Amino acid sequence: MTRPVARVLTLLEFLQSGGVRSVPELADRLGVDERTVRRYVGHLIDLGVPVESVRGRYGGYRLTSGYRMPPLMLSDDEALAVLLGLVAGQRAGLMTATGTASETAAAKVRRVLPERLGRRLDAVLESLAFTAPPGRSAAPDSDVLLSVADAVRHHRPVSIRYTAADGRRSERTLHPYGLVAHSGRWYVTGADPAIGEDRTFRLDRITGAAILPGSFEPPAALDPAERVLSGLATAPYRHEVLLRVRGTAEQIRTRLPAGIALVRELPPSGGTGPETESWSRVELRVDRLDWLPAVLASLDRPFVIERPEELRGLVEEFAARLADSARRRPLPG
């Protein structure tokens, strides 16, 4: 490939990265003068690439919005990043309802790569092992995801059709604050103006979303991820568990992360000695209690069960089984 041709393709790569690129910037990046940049732009236009000239103080060149430019030109690092990103998204369950989209996209990327690079990337993917099974969560509809994301970005209300876990269907208006990916599922959190409360919805349970006229102002210092985790931790379940654990919130969350439990550090009681160390109040809402004794034991910290009483019996039974196992001696020989 001759140097001018390589520079024209490099210019195209810069323009494909988006935004307006000034002539001085392009000249500096390409190592040519500004007159040569304009000549290279002319070459692209002759090839049918829709390059626009933008006038004004911040003017320069850009590609027409929505233009898709084949072929794909990726460096080794870029190609590896794209393919690993597709694999990781599929394993995490964070794909859209078009179940084969990640596979077909990966196949297209692989097909246009040079043979040498393709073989090397195949070696990475074939030798890669995962410690967790692939995500099997229900995926959201692509149109729903894109519509809600657009409403979040532009602070626009959105109408959604929602099916709750118990099968009840409803249609409501939402002021969406943000999208959150958590444990293989997509969530949207926002305000429901009809009831004046913040709500969190699973995207895969939304069957239709339409952006409405108007706009809203989201709360200041908003953290959508924290809102989703708090909502999951306080959702109604069969058992409400309340504990006091000696330790800081950071120490407790190593075994009871956000989304499972709400942890609030209690004010110090004063004095000295181990009994005056930091204590935290821990709240959980769970469908089953049988897994909690092992988790509490793994914390290796003093705790007090405030409710339910049933958990106290399960912990005592678990402790008895551990003590019985510790007393057993190995068989001779």
Query: What digits encode the pLDDT tens for the residues 183-210?
Result: 778 889 999 998 888 888 988 899 989 9
> Phi/psi at 208 (nearest 5 deg)?
-165, 140
Burial class (CB in 10 A: 0-12, 13-18, 19+), 149: middle
Residue 252 has pLDDT above 60, yes or no: yes
With H, G, I as helix, E, B as strand and everything else as coil, classify residue 238.
coil
Please report the pLDDT score of residue 134 as a whole number. 62
Q: What is the pLDDT of residue 1?
A: 44
Question: How far apart are alpha carbons 292 and 299 in whole angstroms?
Answer: 11
Note the pLDDT tens digit of each residue in 22-33: 999 899 888 899
Question: How much is the average pLDDT of 153-166?
Answer: 88
The pTM assigned to this predicted structure is: 0.52
Q: Which residue has the tokens 């876990």?
A: 165
Starting at the earlier edge strand, list the strands of the sheet with 239-246. Answer: 261-265, 279-286, 239-246, 303-307
> What is the mean pLDDT of the segment spanning 305-320?
92
Chain segment 130-142, per-residue pLDDT in tens: 766 665 566 788 8
62 forms beta bridges with 52
Q: How much is the mean pLDDT over the chain?
A: 82
**Residue pair 306/315 in contact by the 8 Å Cβ criterion:** no
Q: Which long-range contacts (CB under 8 A, 24 or more apart) does 290-298 make?
A: 290/314, 292/241, 293/317, 293/318, 293/319, 294/318, 295/255, 295/256, 296/243, 297/322, 298/255
How far apart are alpha carbons 29 and 202 in whole angstroms? Answer: 45
Looking at residue 135, its pLDDT comes to 57
